[in-house]
Structure 1
Amino acid sequence: MAFSPPPGFRPTHVVPQHGMPAWEAPDPARPTLPLDPLLPVQLMERRGDWGQVLCANGWSAWVDGRYLVAVPQDPPATDSPLTRAADPRPLVARAEETPARYRSAVEDLAAGALDGESFHSRTKGLRIGIGVDGESVWLYDAAHERWVYADGTRSATYATDDGPRATAEDPGHAPTQVVTPDGT
């Protein structure tokens, strides 16, 4: 018998490589079967750290959404609005400088010129992320905590590190968000 996913199923995330626990509801007192490692899922809703996921077989569960691994989507359209990082060259330069600074600190540590605390101090805050695919590049902008997509001539924000925000009515919990595959 052939299996077909529910209509409109489009994975947005995968389960981490070691699998993850799941719950019937966003309530730790209602556990269910754990999810298999690297299982493709579609994030349907968020409530604070909780995420409701839909599996390809139609089964849904609640998980700790912070641990889901996002599936890369298509890059922003080239006609998307430009951001303050419109020129990708400064990010590319930082992407080149960061490993050089780290390598220098590693060499000094290996040579005995640095102790562990000094090494930690020199490397603290160094962050880099880069993916290159032909003319496309995804760069992590640590100064603004976001990923930027560039096509060689301009760039646009692709994703941010902003976490869930609390609502005015309930400052301890983030608002419920309905998430659709097309990002709306």
Structure 2
Amino acid sequence: MGTPDGFRPTHVVPADGMPTWTAPDPAATGVPLDPLLPVALARANGNWARIVCSNGWSAWVDGRLLVALPQRPPATGAPLATTDDPRPLLAALERSLATYRRLVDDWAAGRIDLETFRDGTRDLRLGAVLDGSDAWLLDLDRGRWYYCDAAQLQTYAAADRADRADRG
């Protein structure tokens, strides 16, 4: 990751740029980074993050300010599973989000108390990242993240059964 060969950015610098440090120490100031510069996160240490640029240069930054880039599924190997139509999962995500929003509105308006809010949201499971035409959708009932390019769903990652059993 420290050389231009095989550089794969994981984050970009915020739109207004950001300062750097030569060490994870507020007194060790460095040169500022240009806005929207692609960087790869090499290491995290609390709020500090060591980043590497495409030319191999590295520095420490405030990791809380980095903008994460979603990654496409790996191109190697066959997907674990493919589903032709993403619409059923999208409809389930919409229903969960609508229920959550209704409960937030009811709690904020004082129509329900916090315990009722927590009871109403206990079984809601939702995860979605949208980046232009790419989407990563979480189906916790099946324990899978799916990558969707509008035409089909492709399994991106699967949780093991023990992780799902611990949630229930």
* TM-score bucket (shorter structure): 0.5 to 0.7
The Cα shift of 1:114 comes to: 1.1
Alignment pair present for 1:43 and 2:40: yes
The alpha-carbon distance between structure 1 residues 51 and 92, as it changes in their structure 2 partners (threshold 3 A), is same
Partner residue of 2:90? 92
Tell me, yes or no, if the aligned pair for 1:76 and 1:156 is still in contact at 8 Å.
Answer: no
Aligned residues: 151
Q: Which runs of 5+ in 2 are unaligned?
A: 160-168
Partner residue of 2:68? 70
Say which of 19, 23, 28 aligns to 2:25. Answer: 28
SS at match of 1:80: coil
The Cα shift of 1:38 comes to: 4.1
SS at match of 2:29: strand
The Cα shift of 1:99 comes to: 1.7
SS at match of 1:22: coil
The Cα shift of 1:16 comes to: 3.9
Give the residue type in structure 2 aligned to 1:43: A
Q: Which has the higher helix share?
A: 2
Tell me, yes or no, if the aligned pair for 1:82 and 1:154 is still in contact at 8 Å.
Answer: no
Aligned partners of 1:159, 1:45: CA distance in 2, in Å?
A: 25
The Cα shift of 1:97 comes to: 1.6
Say which of 147, 150, 156 aligns to 1:149. Answer: 147
The alpha-carbon distance between structure 1 residues 51 and 106, as it changes in their structure 2 partners (threshold 3 A), is closer
Partner residue of 1:181? none
The Cα shift of 1:158 comes to: 6.4
Tell me, yes or no, if the aligned pair for 1:76 and 1:149 is still in contact at 8 Å.
Answer: no
Identity rate, percent: 44
Q: Which runs of 5+ in 1 are unaligned?
A: 1-5, 161-184
Superposition RMSD in Å: 4.4
The normalised TM-score by structure 1 is: 0.52
Tell me, yes or no, if the aligned pair for 2:52 and 2:58 is still in contact at 8 Å.
Answer: yes
Structure 2 counterparts to residues 28-177 of structure 1, below 5 A = 28=25, 31-33=28-30, 35=32, 38-43=35-40, 45-46=42-43, 51-55=49-53, 59-65=57-63, 67-74=65-72, 76-77=74-75, 80-83=78-81, 86-87=82-83, 88=86, 91-109=89-107, 112-123=110-121, 127-131=126-130, 137-141=135-139, 147-151=145-149, 152-157=151-156
Give the residue type in structure 2 aligned to 1:46: R
The Cα shift of 1:79 comes to: 6.2
The alpha-carbon distance between structure 1 residues 89 and 78, as it changes in their structure 2 partners (threshold 3 A), is farther
Structure 2 counterparts to residues 4-15 of structure 1, below 5 A = 11-15=9-13
Tell me, yes or no, if the aligned pair for 1:14 and 1:39 is still in contact at 8 Å.
Answer: yes
Aligned partners of 2:27, 2:102: CA distance in 1, in Å?
A: 51
Query: Deviations along 1:153-175, whole A, 9 cap, x unmatched?
Result: 44121699xxxxxxxxxxxxxxx
SS at match of 1:32: coil
SS at match of 2:30: strand
